Structure 1
């Protein structure tokens, strides 16, 4: 190991870099291809033996030099070492040598004034790792670790095995340190799931009391009462990027997902279809194959809200078992039957056909009238009708436009359906 006087002469001790180079956006030059100068692993081992008695995880007593090559913090940062670890001694031997290669190319063997020339470091031009650098497996990284591919600027944070995207706007409020980004293999990075596994409890990394449970990439809010009663308080709770969480809170659970009350106190089962939770009767639970699907517990209050939610207007549905071949369009909570001509004439054949429990569909088809405010249009008329307390009101063209009603919300239905409502 070098003397203090020798260390002071080392260029490693004097290389400096501004904090900005730690930012990922400015780190691209540090991730360039391997330098022209190189040395074999055996030569680097000799240098490490000279510098640090061959200990690749050593910290100099002065606290200024780290790892087998005794690299100072400014130099480690300047040559891109933080892509691997915060300090040289925390990186692997291979990673330290890869950064040593860059230092050798930039400063020459004089960067190690005693040990470099002693072992002719500058004269050994062998590539230490011709197959390229090795990267840690994502599964080996702790939750909260920032990762990126060497081939692009995008950064993710590891949460329960997933790589959740980090937006630029998240860095400051979420207190992410881009100087600690870890490089992982490009294919491994691209293969990371972008959302934590179903059932993961999360909160905004920037702070706040709100908690959510992830189901199919959607963040479902956990109410204060559900937090304890549903048992979410005993699960691990992970901070996730603010921008991602805001988007996830707007997503809906996948259609076809079978759910139940997380407490287990309610025996009812539901299937999510287009954002609404539809009740599954006991007879249909097995007959329609729902019992063969994964059953996911969801927050009690969220489930009550989803079960009360009206299926979005314009959703095209039919009974999941196929026993009834009738196709319906949802209009204000009513399942309106469609003829073959209407199904194709209205362009509904271009929309997804959603399977629903038979008993739920029968109940929706039996409703007397759509909810107030539902807008209907039939092929025998150019008039758009609004449903008001079980009757229909002809709407004027002036009621549509920016800041007013939208024609996109009008549901096309057969003539027979609009004809049965008296006119206001």
Structure 2
């Protein structure tokens, strides 16, 4: 009687005892593998003797069967440790990832009652570097009512409304160590994770960039290749706040499509260009995140916000500046403290960009400025200053600047 190949492979695998060492009998694959619960785990050359695998009987198996067995994952809930004992830690497998079990959780959560499987250390290291697959629904192994879904390595709590409405109640819930869950629940999905609303209420698509969910336009979805990446469904309670967040300062970005080859650094919701030298020196060894180019273009076009306090990233210029209408205005130590700028974040900016901003003759037209020598609020008009009428402006839009700037701008009345 014919049977499905996948069933046959599983049936054969289940008859090979855990701990049995196997190899491709044809020799096409020269690797060595150890069988653990029907899955073949690769043994590195270094581990072959050090872990004692060389003292076990080596069994030849069909190459195609071995390839499939090596592609499988240990069942969720399997407890493992490094075969060599070099790492005494214990881990539990959850949807392809090995999650660390703390000493307190080992007994309290009942992991000590499960079979403990020795596995090759290099394989274990790779599994421990992973997160459970996107969409895995988890709960604290120790108990509790809260449920979470894994999205880009983060654990997003599922609200009571979302539990049923988003269909999470139809999925298996896997227990995980509480310490791991706490850490995963506190982080954002990894940069580069492509997101969609699990409920479909928001039809948009997003990609994580610098801790924020950035919208992908319809044209970019295919043109930029996002349609070829895994799409992670996220609860709206996670996606909504992430889509309203700002990309973190210092994030390096480049257009995903490659139409704009420049690299930019995000500073206070603006994208500032880097020269090749600055990328190599001031921002050395930092990852560059691909970003939708429509979003990137908007950040590039946005002047650095008034009142942003900046300093050269490479440290060659020790001065501190405040942004006013696209101009970087030099602050003395007294002004820096006297105007309260020392209470604001001091943001690093590329030196070439800073020099250009500091060399401007005046802030952009319409900028509101005020210095300590007068109560007058001035509006910049064509490189000059004009007294702003009381009640015609919002006080929050006024930039405090040194007297030297207001003194050098000619006064006009119309």
TM-score by length of 1: 0.62
Structure 2 residue corresponding to 1:162, chosen from 154, 157, 182: 154
3-state secondary structure, aligned to 2:355: helix
Evaluate the alpha carbon distance shift between residue 243 and residue 391 of structure 1 in structure 2; reply closer, same or farther with a 3 A threshold. Answer: farther
Structure 1 residue corresponding to 2:135, chosen from 144, 149, 152: 144
- Mapped to 2, the partners of 1:177 and 1:388 lie a distance apart of 62
Structure 1 residue corresponding to 2:264, chosen from 245, 266, 270: 270
3-state secondary structure, aligned to 2:353: helix
> Which structure is higher in strand share?
2
Contact 2:224 2:256 in 1 (8 A): yes
> Which structure is higher in helix share?
1
3-state secondary structure, aligned to 1:284: helix
- Tell me whether 1:367 sits opposite 2:363 in the alignment: no
- Mapped to 2, the partners of 1:417 and 1:349 lie a distance apart of 20
Evaluate the alpha carbon distance shift between residue 260 and residue 92 of structure 1 in structure 2; reply closer, same or farther with a 3 A threshold. Answer: closer
| Counterpart for residue 221 of structure 1 | 215
| Counterpart for residue 169 of structure 2 | 177
Evaluate the alpha carbon distance shift between residue 253 and residue 92 of structure 1 in structure 2; reply closer, same or farther with a 3 A threshold. Answer: closer
Evaluate the alpha carbon distance shift between residue 353 and residue 371 of structure 1 in structure 2; reply closer, same or farther with a 3 A threshold. Answer: same
Contact 2:246 2:269 in 1 (8 A): yes
Contact 1:277 1:306 in 2 (8 A): yes
| Counterpart for residue 357 of structure 1 | 350
TM-score by length of 2: 0.63
- Tell me whether 1:408 sits opposite 2:396 in the alignment: yes
C-alpha displacement of 1:349: 1.8
Evaluate the alpha carbon distance shift between residue 374 and residue 148 of structure 1 in structure 2; reply closer, same or farther with a 3 A threshold. Answer: farther
3-state secondary structure, aligned to 1:411: strand
| Counterpart for residue 376 of structure 1 | 369
- Mapped to 1, the partners of 2:234 and 2:399 lie a distance apart of 39
- Mapped to 2, the partners of 1:92 and 1:415 lie a distance apart of 68
Evaluate the alpha carbon distance shift between residue 194 and residue 175 of structure 1 in structure 2; reply closer, same or farther with a 3 A threshold. Answer: farther
- Mapped to 2, the partners of 1:277 and 1:241 lie a distance apart of 29
| Counterpart for residue 40 of structure 1 | none
| Counterpart for residue 186 of structure 1 | 178
- Structure 2: stretches of 5+ with no match in the other structure: 1-74, 80-105, 115-126
- Mapped to 1, the partners of 2:340 and 2:167 lie a distance apart of 49
C-alpha displacement of 1:317: 0.7
Evaluate the alpha carbon distance shift between residue 174 and residue 418 of structure 1 in structure 2; reply closer, same or farther with a 3 A threshold. Answer: farther
C-alpha displacement of 1:397: 4.6
- Mapped to 1, the partners of 2:160 and 2:326 lie a distance apart of 41
- Tell me whether 1:261 sits opposite 2:238 in the alignment: no
- Mapped to 1, the partners of 2:178 and 2:162 lie a distance apart of 23
Evaluate the alpha carbon distance shift between residue 91 and residue 266 of structure 1 in structure 2; reply closer, same or farther with a 3 A threshold. Answer: closer
1:234-254 CA-to-partner distances (Å, cap 9, x unmatched) read 001111111221111121222
Contact 2:131 2:153 in 1 (8 A): no
Evaluate the alpha carbon distance shift between residue 140 and residue 320 of structure 1 in structure 2; reply closer, same or farther with a 3 A threshold. Answer: closer
C-alpha displacement of 1:282: 2.4
C-alpha displacement of 1:297: 1.4
| Counterpart for residue 325 of structure 1 | 318
1:333-366 CA-to-partner distances (Å, cap 9, x unmatched) read 2111111111111121222222211111122123
- Structure 1: stretches of 5+ with no match in the other structure: 1-89, 95-128
Structure 2 residue corresponding to 1:304, chosen from 275, 280, 297: 297
- Tell me whether 1:210 sits opposite 2:204 in the alignment: yes
When Rg is computed on C-alpha atoms for both structures, the one with the higher figure is: 1
| Counterpart for residue 418 of structure 1 | 406
- Mapped to 1, the partners of 2:237 and 2:367 lie a distance apart of 34
- Mapped to 2, the partners of 1:146 and 1:238 lie a distance apart of 13
Instruction: Give the 5 Å matches for 1:38-117.
Output: none
| Counterpart for residue 331 of structure 2 | 338
Count, aligned residues: 295
C-alpha displacement of 1:148: 2.9
